[in-house]
Structure 1
Amino acid sequence: MSKHSNGFKKLSIRRAVALLFIVVISATAILSASLIYSLTKQREIDTALSTLGLVSSIVSDRLEQFDDVGEQTTNQLAYLLSTTPGEKSTAELIEIFGAAFVGNEFLHSIYVGYDNDHFVQLFNLESDYISEQLDLMEGETWMVVVHKTSGNARTKTTRYFFDTLELSREVTTLSNYYPTERGWYTRATPDSVSKSQPYLFHNIRITGQTFSKRLPERNAVVGVDISLAQLGSHFEQSLGDVELLKGAEVYVTTFDGRIIGSSHFDSKKSNLPYVEPMPLSDDQITTVIDAPILTVSNQLNWEPIDFAVGGQPYGYSPDLFRLISDTTGLQFQFVNGLLWSELVEDFQTKNIDILQSIATTNSITDSHIEGNILYELDYAVASHTESATFSSLSDLSGKTIGMIDGWSVIEKLIESYPEITVYRYESYSDALKDVQERRISGVLDNRAVLTNKLKRNNQDTLRLQAIEHVQILPKGFTYVARDELRPYVEIINQALQYLETAGVIEQLNHRWLKSPQQTFGHISNETLLSRIANSLSFGEITAIDIDDKPSFVFVDQVNNVPAEYLIVSLPEEKVLGEVYKYVMYNVAWTLAALVIMVPIVWYFSTPLSNPIYRLVKETDKVKRRQYDQVEKHSSPVREVDELSTAIFDMSQSLNQYQQSQEEFIESIIQLIAKTIDSKSPYTGGHCLRVPELALMLVDAAEQAKDPAFESFHFKNDAERREFRIAAWLHDCGKITTPEYVVDKGTKLETNYNRINEVRTRFEVLWRDAEIEALKSEIDTPENKPQIIEALQARQQMLREQFAFVANVNIGGEFLNDQDKERLIEIAKQPCNAISTINLVYHLLRRDVCPLKVTHFL
């Protein structure tokens, strides 16, 4: 083994053959292992696909049952209540509702609400998720909640029953719940069953969906609540015995990735930072102990500030109120499932205690107790990447922008900037779609909210542009509460200051506003979302990375109306663990066989080495350009024999090429010499004659018998060629010599600055002016002062003109029109040259020149 000058080691042919054998066998082993891996992997994936297809069928059937139970129960109850005569008493309603619970494990509650806000609701208390929230007595199975208005008072009566429908206890409290203001009531129609999005139920804080239908004959709406917690527990029960799904994550989502049910449902708390309890005075402690559970508004989709996923509240402000609860002991209960306008209306009607995320300029702060600022947000415009740049509201003059309906700043913006057209939208997706299609110039909102929306909707064609702060765009957002809640507002304000001093507010800012938002209860992986949007990928398994971990994902549609999808995420090692073991076993046996075969290959590689060494010697001759000395060697190995022939043919070809190149170089040299000769007729043929004379002299010197020339001769044709080329190139320096230097008819010809001619002509004009002045002085001596003054003016003008011409001569390339006109006027001045003999004209034209010649300056 040798070492090349570049530091890389070189192998002998025997080692190369052995190495080649190892590479070939290794490649074969790798190919075999790859084939085994591929086939085994495909087998495991097919098995997993079959299993997941069965899971998809089970989930699809269960979701179909989920919807069928809700729709059928609602329709049946609507039919019973509509067709049976007379008004139904509470006892009759409970009997009808109780019968509907039989065999329907998904049912959470059944209720009916009337146009006069009378409301009756029945709960089955056997579910664990209900008993965990209620302080139930042993044996209590049913709970009936009745909201009604008696005189000027509205009450809520809660009755608990045993399984035998024997009354256990009864609790009556004041009520501010009005069913006619709820979304399930307002959206109900008599023609079909209306299904809500997931939200937190009012009485028991469980996430679920409501099926409702209007009863025109009864002036009422019947509703059925189905808990999503039952769906998650069903996943655990039905799929827990499937070995493949142990450790897998199973989700049922909507088209935009929102989780409806999951085997790993998110906790409603989002890993809040720990904070020490806030010191309270004795009066404050008493206030907290006596405080009721305060209801707080929670929006649906104002990420990352205030939103709900699967009915659970998330975001900056819910986290902030949870921290306030941990710090003070006050209990908060979030209300969601409503539009912003509905939340405001519930607050006005005292169904909600605290309305949060209110702009400080909102008029609602004038009529209620306004708390301290919860957070501050900057504003931005989401515009198309090809649109103009916006940095302030003034830049939007003449533009059309979109804003979400319900913003309190819309009217003030229109009033302060009438030249800006504002479109109101119900959703961010519709507004951003219009921006993408260039129907509007942009969407104005808080920067953090728009950042989240663009990220969630994968809007690559849109960009954010920050807007300078102005008074009508408030940065601060606060909360408002009813007047009777003033003691709690004071404690909440104190807690906000305490949290800021403890650095907790900064942690929330970093978590929700300054770093990429975490996603709770929402599928955020772009690949998964794209597969949900692509129906061609349904029912297939795809390998993707989830949280930087290789996984297999199965996506299938399990419900059409509304569209719902099953997503199963499996760790790669769960599916391919056995495949890896089988492949490693085969690779180990292949390596063992390779170790045995290497010595045998080493021995049989010897006959290849000797012919190669002979070819190396022939290539050394080619390296030294000894093409005519290269020989051809035969070999029993066809490839080696062909290589020897190729080296021989190559040397002959290189020899011919070298000769043609030498001829080509000499032709170029002769062409240069001819080019030099063509520069001037006075030296034409010089470069052609010198080589001929030089070679004639050399031949004569070599043939001379004189002692002085005995040792003079060329050793070979190469030296003769060198001498011939030197003769041709003896005058090559003239190729860069200017032609006016080479081509000279006389010795005195040259180039010079012709400003001297102009100066001479100005001197002639100067002389003419003096002559004219002297003549005028002789003719009219009485006008001598005027003549002298005119002469001085003329001379001054000549000075200025010559200075101008000289300056133009040395100036830049640009000359304006005024200077051009002045130069032309100066050039029009006549200049008379007087000479008795003009030798130049005389010699060239052989005639007599006029005594006086007029030139133009």
Structure 2
Amino acid sequence: MTRYRHLPFQLHVSLLTAVVVLFVGGLISALDFNHLRARLEADSVNQARGMSRETTDRIQKTLGPAEVAVKMIAHSKLSEAWTLDDRMAFAGMLHEILTSAPDIRSLYVGYDNGDIFMVLAMRNDTQRAAMQAPPGTQFVVHNVSHDESADNNTLIYIDKDFHIISTVDNSDVAAHYDPRKRPWYQQARQAKRFVRTEPYRFFSVPEIGTTLAITSADGRAVAACDISLDSLQQMLVAQQTLPGRVLALVDPNGNVLTSNLAGFASMGRAPDGTPRAMSASDMQRAPILEHLIETLRSAGMREWIRNVTDQNGTAWYTSVSRLTIDEADPLFMVSAIRSGELMQAAVHAQIVDVLITLAILVLSLPVIWVLAGSVAKPLKELTAQADTMRRFDPNPSQHVLRSRISELDRLAVQMAAMKRTIRRFLGTIRAVAGEPEFEPLVRVLLTEILAEAHADAGVLYLTDHDGEQLLPTSALDARTGETVAGLSSLVIADAPVLIRSALADNVPRTGQLSNADILQTGYAEFMLGAGHAAVVPLVNRQKLLVGVFVLLHSRPLEQMQMSFISELTSLFVSAIETRELIKSQRELFDSFIQLIAKAIDAKSPYTGGHCNRVPELMRMLAQAACDTHDGPWKDFSLNALQWEELHVAAWLHDCGKITTPEYVVDKATKLETLYDRIHEIRMRFEVLKCHAEIDCLKSIEAGVDRAAAEAKRDASLRELDEEFAFIAQCNEGGESMDAADAARLARIAERTWVRTLDDRLGVSYDERQRKEREPAVPLPAREKLLADKVEHRFVRNASSDLIGAPDNPWGFRIKMPELLYNRGELHNLSVSRGTLSEEERFKINEHILQTIVMLSQLPFPRHMRNIPEIAGGHHERMDGAGYPMGLKREQMSPLARMMAIVDIFEALTAGDRPYKKGKTLSESIRIMARMKDGHHIDPDVFELFLRSGVYRDYASRFMDVEQIDDVDIAQYLEAAPDPELVA
């Protein structure tokens, strides 16, 4: 029997993975190195070409202005100036050129008689020392003249403003300088064109550079300028993009004009010791340059040379580029870089690739070791998922496990399906619990049932109140997800057989619907034709049919699906019962609210339909705020619960009026209570008039002259008639009462009449209690015509005292009169304005206090806790001068501020009040604008009220046609507040 050495599966997989990782990593590293090397070589060539172009441009930018300057001097009259004075006339021009071109060291003209006129720029102290210039010298004019008598060598030192500092004649500086012996002079005369010399050491300053020269038009002079090569070295240093790269600028003779090497000196020494340009033989510290120059010479000065050179065992990538500057001899840019320095990035990348490969190998081995042992992992995860399902926690984030083992794969698929079913069931339960509206809930349940049954369409019917008809509540096409409308009701007795049989036994049934059944039920809207159907009755806890689900599909349902659907429908029945209960309670609550509001309106004709119209106007204004997307209302919105809260608050905003006595609300005269007491006063005057008649008769009987007695009687009667007419006029309250009227009323009140009957007989218990506060007056009693008696004073009860207390629990800040009522006759007739006394006016205003007290005591749900604040704030002012709490604008919610405007506008425009005529739109808006300017109402809400057109929409629905006129709202939106109103 063959014995095999068994190795763990993890080890097999790990070794195979290591081999694959090493092979792939090595291959990637080699390919990456070759690719990067080729790219670096190409980048090096491109950089060399780019530096050549940039160097050419830089030299041309340096030599271009110099060439123009030299040619300009050659064509000027300076070439014909033979005296110092004539030549100095051109010094300013040369100064401007030197100032604008910092690379030009000097400009000069050499004449055929040996004269020279030169202007030098002193750029540093070394140059000043060479020219023996004093401090502050920026320019030096050097003039050498030869005449018959003597030779003159003049130096003129000039500052930066071109002012002469000093002049030195017969200076020994360049005393023997003869331009005709200089190379630039000789080359220009010989070439008869513009020339550029080889680099050399300038005669005037110790620098290496080149000279540009050209012969003047008459041929008697040569104009020239000196260009320093120092700036070229700085340029080469700046172009060194790779460390270790050697750059040099070489002329055709092999002279190195400049280089980027640190410490490079542009001056060498000839064998005789004289300064000259540095040659390649002088560059012992950079032998690669000498090799490149030899390569250049052997290649015949070609335009571009590229090569890889071995220099002392070191590989160099070299290139030579020809620079065509001008019509003079070209220059050459040579570049060299060691292979190791160029390929440093490639080597580094290769090392990184190797390290990454090793890191991947090290990191992957443990992973592969773990993965190799994960064959049993699907079973472990399925066990864990089964445990979560046992706890009714089918996590939706868990993916469907798939395996190459068919049994495990099928188990995973079935487990996932079970999880989806449980998750859908739990989701349906949450939807039922969390969806407050019935229609969305119906759609959710119908969608879930169709998805679980894999049905094509479904219809939910609910029974009518008599239980004889099925009313289609929701119909959904699962294929498109669209709701289908237009289905007709079904009479249960005439329904298709499948539906009747299911409803007869209240058990689910499956079967087929014929084409006739499809046409009868209206299911042709689904475009399905005859097919399979399932009918699931909905029966409540009282075993009464409340509805039925009809599911249409292309194949019969499985028993398991029917069982699950039956459970879902039982849940739906419970939801229907709950929703119906909530709906009925909400309708009952709403009917109570409207009952109270309508009772208040019916209680007094003076309020008209106020409580009915305010909710509608409030809804319109709140909707306008929700529809506004800019300004102070851009973030305002109301959800369904807040709309319900607003609805209740609007209907109950005046519920406190139910406690206001009707006679106070309807009080039309000052003496009116439950009846108008002016009739008592009239009767007293009648008694006084009878006494006047009696007194007249007694006087005549006593012997007084009849005519005199009757005249006195008539005067008394006239006075009594006038006084009663005055009292009656005061009772109407139509005009304000001044001090004179009050004094006259007091004088009339002093009249007396005789009461002979006990005024405590036949009165109520409460009135007798009030009268007994003072002793009874013996009969007959003489009483004043108008009196404020003790029984007229009604004291407050304890609950009223609590409302008026400074620390009351509702936060009321309102001044409360001492008495509940004061029905004193003189007190009421003396009311200065209107018909209401101070106590009665407070009673009117107390309705808002009672509104808040009543609403605060109701156990509103959490989302209705703001109803007292919304309903009770419509008499507050934005400046805090309102009542009952004296709230300011920032202390009020937006809905409370809206309620104030709605209440005012409805009261102004109401046309069903018996005591006044409804105002027109323009009058109402004008009054409200003044109230806004007086900080009575909120300006933002008022602007919304106008801009949204709510006032106009309300008028078209609730106001008479003659009240509706044009309103120019622009004047109220743009006008500034009236200072007098604000004050």
TM-score range relative to shorter protein: 0.3 to 0.5
Larger Rg: 2
TM-score under structure 2 length normalisation? 0.31
Structure number with the bigger relative contact order (C-alpha 8 A, sep ≥ 6) is: 1
